[in-house]
Structure 1
Amino acid sequence: MEQVFNFSAGPAVLPKPVLAKVQEELLNYDQTGMSVMELSHRSAAFENIIESAEALFRELLAIPDDYHVLFLQGGASLQFSMIPLNLLRPHQSADYIITGSWSKKAVTEASKQGTINTITPENPYIIPDYTHQDLSSASQYVHITSNNTIEGTRYSRYPKTGDIPLVADMSSHILSDSIDVKKFGLIYAGAQKNLGPSGVTVVIVRKDFVGNASDNCPTMLNYETYVKHKSLFNTPPTFAIYVMKLVLEWVKQQGGVKEMEVKNKEKAQMLYNFLDESKLFKNPVSKQNRSFMNIPFLTESKQLDEAFLKRAEQEGLMFLKGHRSVGGMRASLYNAMPLEGVQKLIDTMSQFEKENR
């Protein structure tokens, strides 16, 4: 089969060595005579998987001991509800910085649980450097979407919130660049972009954030439930956690997060350099806030956009269509996207431009 490159925003490309390992172990995991998909989540074999996954997360992100690492279900979207249910008491408020579609969705859900103050940049493609002076003094936490998958923006500098805890949705860039976990009260990420297949969501939460849920918080939405049971209160997405563990091992073998960041910046800069010089393709994002993971671009017309997408698919460049809310194209360059995939995209864009100018 001719090689294809998967530029989907998620579920996204996985490392080939990880897929090969899954194939190798699919029928018989670790001499158990069973597939991982058949293993009881109470078995010693699976407990070793989930404990190894947590240990790798802690190592790769240098997560301090005063943080829990939880493996949950429901995607990052369920965290839009879980966070206020666990962090807001009646009559308390939180600040949400709206930089894109997903932060708007987070506000919609959080507003059902408490008072939400919103801060919105004037330009959707420029994220200002926010400080505690921009925030509400009574805010219990500040929520951000640190990388915007649809709009292709990211924070060049995280908000300086002072004593107010910072909460971040890092679904589309976790493990792609270095972060200081201590600057955040809570980090969450759906796995289906940089961590593994869909089905599992990682929550890194400071210990003092746990145990404060409102009395009407459902058991399954209370972080304390998963802390007490080590993410095994009910049957977790066992296969997704297993694949995620393999992805974490692969990241470590590649040199860890710092090496991933070097490679990701190189890939992104290659594409941005082409876009900046192109007479046909354009990227709308300000240079200081350009995402390394999700790069939107477009031509001068919808007709040319559609023609390029058809051409790209013929060349084995898959899932480049932009989100329906913004149109155009979008290349997602997650950790597992190889350099040659980006180069082939650039070559195809260059040839298409020559034929259409």
Structure 2
Amino acid sequence: MSVELDVFVGNTTIMDEEVYQLWLDGYTVNDAVKVRMEGGVLEECEASADVLLSDTMDQYRTFQMCERLLHSPAKLANQLLFQIPPHRQVVLIERYYTFDDAFVREVLGKKLSKGTKKDLDDVSAKTNVTLKSCRRQFDNFKRVFKVVEELKGPLVENIRQHFLLSDKLARDYAAIVFFANNRFETGKRKLQYLTFQDFAFCAGQLINNWTVGAVDNMVEDMDVDLDKEFLQELKELKILITDKDLLDQHKSLVCTALRGKTKAFNEMEANFKVRIKSHGHHILHVLAHLLAHGHFIEPCRSDRWTTADMRLYLTHYTNSAHILDTFKHQVVWDRYMGVVKSCIFKMYHD
């Protein structure tokens, strides 16, 4: 008895993006099959449940074999085991390194160590991200950190080139590396309303203006370590709050500029809130201090300032210092307040 069989042979590795995402999300094979069935794939492909199970298992095996290459994305293009078109390689890499905002928000600023990794069970339960996915994301953070921490040159560009990520994702990883290196306190109760993207924006501001790389673009750790000379120079700004005459002049200039322009003027005049935090180690936690310690944002939120009020106040507060004849530290002032203003504008959710 003869049997006719149609066979197609090819060398391109077949990868279903939906199955890949289920694998990345930490679904088991059986759970992935259920999700695919609920999505109507059996009717769409006119296949049986056994065939769907076999296909899912086969693709999971392929992803697992590819994973070691994804740890060093540049190797993916040069290997011969899997014939994966370039455009598909881009998708595989980008998705592998994409992370959940809820997860990164929980680990942001923490040391990327074994101790933190042990706590991922709790993070998984809190964020509703599977433990397997949490571990993959954490390991990705740690891997990127280790590769780029000693490289010369711009941090974002180093990440983009070594891991072949999009510019947006590379910038997000730069923020993660920066916060992990400087151990910013992002987990305080009063900071919980802030999203990862709020912090990522602020990290970009700090990297571009306050790191060694802001003044020398070819030094080690250029975008990871804050400029120590700048931190020392910040101490000079204390004169704005320690010299009473200067403080009174500054307040008078700011209030004169604000009078009649906002309904919040009385509160602004009664509570001259901005305080320069230039004491050594405090600057490493400037964002946390601005928020959690009530130095600026929290009181303004309590007084129900609008975003427009905030912008108006900070603009005049910054510009008025330029008029003070006895204030001789304008360059440092502008470098400091430029970042502080940008960060506050981003973080102030009225």
Q: If the length of structure 1 is used for normalisation, what is the TM-score?
A: 0.24
Give the TM-score of the pair, scaled to structure 2: 0.24
Per residue, is there more helix in 1 or in 2? Answer: 2
Larger radius of gyration: 2
- Larger relative contact order (C-alpha < 8 A, sep ≥ 6)? 1
